[in-house]
Chains A and B, each alone.
Chain A
Amino acid sequence: MMSEKIAVAVDDLTVAYNYKPVLWDIDLSIPEGVLMAIVGPNGAGKSTLIKSILGIIDPIAGSVKIYGKPYSKQRDQVAYVPQKGSVDWDFPTTALDVVMMGTYGALGWIKRPGSKQKKQSLEALEKVGMLAFKNRQISQLSGGQQQRIFLARALVQNAAIYFMDEPFQGVDATTEIAIINILKELRKAGKTVIVVHHDLQTVPEYFDWVTFLNVKHIATGPVKDIFNDDNLTKTYGINYKVAVQQ
């Protein structure tokens, strides 16, 4: 079963854009080995939470620890899948090349990826069922295929903790199932997977842990214990009973 080790610890985290708080005094502990959804309405700060854990956004207060150390010392433990819409898919590059970017972190500055990195990337492409598309220009891929490429890029990082920002957005049903199966495999291998998620209906089926977030932290825990009307109402401000029991 799950160990008691804390993979990610967030302490008193506050983030603001132009003095308007987006995240307010967040305390959060994520144990190792969970497959966790972060849910909350639009503008709840879900992406911002991930970005500030990964040092992409500077918080105005608070701290983040990955296995007890600051993120900047633990980069090799963490893989990140940004929102698909955050990059320009017309960029002149191929699917394989994008996956190779996952190896850059381990390489460090200046060093170029070689045949070892290429082999790892091809394996990751195969795992997400995209090997046949390795030389395809990325704008020629469908939304689901692009998302798989992003997932392959995270797999190549071979990390202990995976952060994913809406990996199911704009993908077809087949891809969604393929992605969730890979995430479940990661958890089985002892990895911690944290996913910003929109679809409340699938939370109990896909995830074993959940965090409710709406600018403030509302609750974190096992889905079977805390995924209930009370927390949904606190998070979304309206009664979600009907929607979830369907």
Chain B
Amino acid sequence: MNPMLEIQLIAAVTAAACAVPGVFLVLRKMALISDAISHSILPGIVIGFFITHDLASPWLIILAAFSGIITVVLVEMIQKTGLVKEDTAIGLVFPALFSIGVILIAQNANDVHLDVDAVLLGDLAFAPFDRWMVDGSDWGPKGLWIISIILLISLALLVAFYKELKLSTFDLGLSSALGFSPVLIHYGLMSVASVTTVAAFDAVGAILVVALMIAPAATAYLLTVDLKRMLLLSVLFGIASAIGGYWMARLLDASISGSITTVLGLLFLTVYLLAPNKGLIAVLFRQSRQRIEVSLLTFLLHLNNHDSLEERRVAHLQEHINWHRVRANSVLDLAVKNNMIIIEDEVVSLTDKGLEFTERALDYIMTNKDEKIEDMKDDFFLFRG
């Protein structure tokens, strides 16, 4: 395999491995914890490196993951005192652990093949150089093997404990009452997140691993209301950003990990703007439609309540309901277009259809019963909840 392909493969598998725990971190509103873990595994990595002298040793991964778990425990201990809130506790713990790692590196800079830049940003471009040799034959980059094994383990755990993860994420109380210990599941998830972070760390660094965990999940969350689909989309977004980022880095001659994160950010921004239901543009459009429709209903109710010619003159309506000309005109247009009113000699009257609509809408407002408006829902945003 050529190094180009290997780098893309490592990036894609890393992104997929991060996306899986990332979905649950986002749903549990624990995105910040992944930031904390990614920084505080540093002392674990450094100490592990002193002992094993091998950045790809499984012991190093376990040791580093252990310091990730310690972070979670420390955060919870500080939080339990009730003196500070969770975000403050996180902000206290991880810089402390991270700085220990930084000092350890600086102290031993001469004999450690680790530098702070690589720790923060990773060095994906060099990943293909560290190869796994068995009896003189080349089995490919070590990093790819490690992250692939971690991805497989985390997928196996996901399949086995999908129901437990879902339940304890949605409803902690019931999970506990049914005997699915939320503490056990929590630490299981934190262990997977820590191990994944350690393995991804080597490729993308401490800062960007957070983006790989959170951004794909946050993007998928905007597009689906189904947990399985959210997991699938997150993995796909992660992989697409990894490969897209690689090519962007080549094109711009820039850092690979930086480019991947940029693509993740752009992807999120695009979905945030354009998502069909939850997207910003869809929401704004819906709100403006609703405003006009509320006005229309107000207007129809007014017509329904007032029979006299004087009350129904177009000019009079504008000053009477106190609307600006533009708004009054757009409401009148909408009503005419839907055959709810007719305008004759500047006098507005309800049509049969308008009358029926008004009465049904009134019915709905009074009873708040959904079935009253089932068939009106297609025409009007207002009644879509």
Residues of A at under 8 Å CB distance from B? 18, 51, 54-56, 72, 75, 78, 80, 82, 86-88, 91-94, 98, 101, 104-105, 107, 109-110, 112-113, 137, 139-140, 153, 172
CB contacts under 8 Å to A, within B71-108, are: 81-82
**With A and B bound together, what is the CA distance between A54 and B178 in angstroms?**
9
Q: A-facing mask of B159-200, CB < 8 A → 1, else 0?
A: 011111011011111101111100000000000000000000
Known A91-B27, A93-B225, A137-B225: A86·B171 in contact at CB below 8 Å: yes
Q: A-facing mask of B26-50, CB < 8 A → 1, else 0?
A: 0101000000000000000000000
**Does B318 reach chain A (CB closer than 8 Å)?**
no
Task: Report whether A55 and B82 are in contact in the complex, using a CB–CB cutoff of 8 Å.
Answer: no
Known A93-B225, A93-B226, A93-B227: A109·B174 in contact at CB below 8 Å: no
Contact among B81, B160, B177, B227 for A75, CB-based, below 8 A:
B177
Task: Report whether A101 and B170 are in contact in the complex, using a CB–CB cutoff of 8 Å.
Answer: yes
A104 to chain B, nearest CB (A): 6
Task: Report whether B170 and A82 are in contact in the complex, using a CB–CB cutoff of 8 Å.
Answer: no
Contact among B81, B174, B180, B227 for A92, CB-based, below 8 A:
B227
Task: Report whether A110 and B160 are in contact in the complex, using a CB–CB cutoff of 8 Å.
Answer: yes
Query: Which 5 A-B pairs have CB atoms at the shortest separation, nearest pair first?
Result: A105-B178, A137-B225, A82-B173, A54-B177, A80-B177
Known A18-B82, A112-B163: A98·B178 in contact at CB below 8 Å: no
Contacts of B27 in A (CB 8 A): 88, 91-92
Contacts of A75 in B (CB 8 A): 177-179
**With A and B bound together, what is the CA distance between A56 and B27 in angstroms?**
21
**With A and B bound together, what is the CA distance between A88 and B167 in angstroms?**
12
21 cross-chain CB contacts under 8 A: A78-B177, A87-B170, A88-B27, A92-B27, A92-B227, A93-B166, A93-B170, A93-B227, A98-B170, A101-B171, A101-B174, A104-B164, A104-B167, A104-B178, A105-B177, A105-B179, A109-B180, A113-B163, A139-B225, A140-B385, A172-B368
Q: A-facing mask of B132-175, CB < 8 A → 1, else 0?
A: 00000000000000000000000000001111101101111110
Task: Report whether A101 and B221 are in contact in the complex, using a CB–CB cutoff of 8 Å.
Answer: no
**Does B275 reach chain A (CB closer than 8 Å)?**
no
Contact among A56, A93, A94, A98 for B177, CB-based, below 8 A:
A56
Residues of B at under 8 Å CB distance from A? 27, 29, 81-82, 160-164, 166-167, 169-174, 176-180, 221, 224-227, 229-230, 368, 385
Number of A-B contacts (CB under 8 A): 79
Contacts of B167 in A (CB 8 A): 101, 104
B18 to chain A, nearest CB (A): 19
4 A-B pairs besides A86-B171, A101-B166 with CB distance below 8 A are A93-B166, A93-B170, A110-B163, A139-B225
B83 to chain A, nearest CB (A): 10
Contacts of B171 in A (CB 8 A): 82, 86-87, 101
Known A93-B227, A104-B178, A110-B160: A80·B170 in contact at CB below 8 Å: no
Contact among A92, A105, A153 for B226, CB-based, below 8 A:
A92
Contact among A56, A94, A101 for B176, CB-based, below 8 A:
A56
